[in-house]
Amino acid sequence: MDFPLGPRFQMAMAFAARVHTGQFRKGTTVPYLSHVLAVTATALENGAGEDVAIASLLHDAVEDGGGLPVLEEIRARFGPAVADLVLECTDALSVPKPPWRQRKEAYLAHLAEASDGARLIVLGDKLHNCRSLVRDLRACGPALWARFNAGPGETVWYYRSVVDILARRGRTPLLEELDAAVEELERAIPGA
Measured CA to CA, the distance from residue 20 to residue 4 in angstroms comes to 25
Q: Which amino acid is at 156?
A: V
Measured CA to CA, the distance from residue 23 to residue 31 in angstroms comes to 6
Measured CA to CA, the distance from residue 27 to residue 64 in angstroms comes to 16
pLDDT of residue 192: 59
> pLDDT of 115-152, one tens digit each?
999 999 999 999 999 999 999 999 989 998 999 989 99
Identify whether the C-beta of residue 96 lies closer than 8 Å to the C-beta of residue 143: no
pLDDT of residue 97: 86
Identify whether the C-beta of residue 123 lies closer than 8 Å to the C-beta of residue 166: yes
pTM of the model: 0.94
pLDDT of residue 191: 67
Taking alpha carbons only, the member of 170, 11, 172, 169 closest to residue 76 is 11
> pLDDT of 35-72, one tens digit each?
999 999 999 999 999 999 999 999 999 999 989 999 99
162: which residues sit within 8 A by CB, 6+ positions away? 108, 111, 122, 126, 178
Identify whether the C-beta of residue 92 lies closer than 8 Å to the C-beta of residue 103: yes
pLDDT of residue 1: 44
* Residue range 84-111: mean pLDDT, rounded: 93
